[in-house]
Amino acid sequence: MTTNRPLHLAAALRRPGYLISWWPWRALAYAGTTVPVAGALALGLGVVVAPAVAVLNAARQGRPVELPVVVFLAVAGLALAAVAPLVSAPVAGFERWRLGVVDSRPLPARRPFSGDVVGSLAARYTDAAAWREVAYACWLGAVVPVAYWTFAVLALLDLTLLASPWLVDGTDDVIVMWTTVDTPREAAPYAVGAALFLPVLWYLAGLLVAGQATVARRLLAGPPAEPAALREVTRSRARLVDAYEAERRRIERDVHDGAQPRLTSLTVQLGLARLDVPDDSPAARPLAVAHEQAKELMVTLRQIAQGIRPQQLTELGLAGAARQLAGEAAIGVDVRADLPRPVPEPVETTAYYVVSEALANVASHADAARAEVRLTQTGRHLVVEVEDDGRGGADPARGTGLTGLADRVAAADGRLLLASPAGGPTLVRVELPCRP
């Protein structure tokens, strides 16, 4: 299945059909499920933050602060710091799952800690990812409620203006914005303005949720260098760039201009010779076999020539060619493409072979039931992601095809990143620069 639909809310907001798509409702669902989580976290933080603000205000005004209050704040602060890494774990797990409502891109799962219970608990206090989860929980409980309250006031004001003609009964004055109205006719212009503002309100809601989802992804995914995230598979380009490009051009030239025409001529000559040799001649059968082998060799050579620049890539484009590869795969493969701009031909060719080789690796090594291919453009890069639900544990050092894939990507001045924790899933991400 191939689709050009955006993969996340921020991309959908840039599309002209945003308001008539499902994305506004997905944003609303995400916001609705945010409220109870953020509210619970805000209450927990408020137990410490509210008294702390009161103490700071009293100290600023020169009023004495009672010792029990100071002791309470110290104990509560220490207790909060002690339980924060533990409480943030289920919150972060729920947020990773909930992020899929507005962002279909995979978010690396937290690798479970090995060892006994004591060791796992101790690891929560020394792991950088755990403290990023704490930071996200604090942000969700302190910043998000303020943003949501601001938006709620704006939405309530707009809905009040929209309903103002029905709120005016003609007996009492009603304050609308900066003036008062006492008849439905006077309130009508405000209702019209509020109706025109409704699409803007939908976009503002989308921006609010997209910003929240972006922060969640940044904090919960972590930097590529940490063990559970993507790690870069680097290979030297020095032995590849010049030799690979020169050899590719030589093979292409020799096939198209040399071997293919000569083999075509040989096939024709063998066919003519078969017509001149009687069927009962001892040479008839060997000649027929040679003719058939020459024709088969023609097909093979044509496939090799097309392999330099795959014919389906020229005819169908990158998304269509990826769909064709998915259809030929041994497992179920979904293809999602978000390619609003043309992709240079050399980059298309590299991306095609990345998808082809990655799917071959999945079929050979991953023991997966399904896979997904995602093609997106971010800035000046084409991003190719192939994810499977297999057993994981892929290691380039074990010769699982990733070394050759990394070499091909490096030759195009790109980079390959890999996330494959034991137990899966495995994600191969390739970033290719799209130079004009």
Q: Read off the pLDDT of residues 24-51 as tens digits, 9 standing for 90 and up.
A: 999 999 999 999 988 888 887 776 666 6
Q: Please give the backbone phi and psi of residue 320, each rounded to the nearest 5 degrees, phi first.
A: -65, -40
- Residue 236 pLDDT exceeds 60: no
d(CA 49, CA 313): 59
SS3 212: helix
Question: With pLDDT > 70 as the criterion, what percentage of the chain qualifies?
Answer: 71
- Tokens at 426, concatenated: 């495995």
With a threshold of 0.95, does the pTM exceed it?
A: no
Map 83-102 to HEC letters.
Answer: HHHHHHHHHHHHHHHHHHHC
Q: Could you give the residue ranges of the DSSP H alpha helices within 362-429?
A: 402-411
- Residue 121 pLDDT exceeds 50: yes
Other C-beta atoms lying within 10 Å of the C-beta of residue 305: 17
- Residue 235 pLDDT exceeds 90: no
- Residue 381 pLDDT exceeds 90: no
pLDDT in tens, 277-336: 787 788 778 888 888 887 777 777 666 665 566 777 878 889 998 998 888 888 889 999
Q: Which residue has the higher pLDDT, 187 or 142?
A: 142
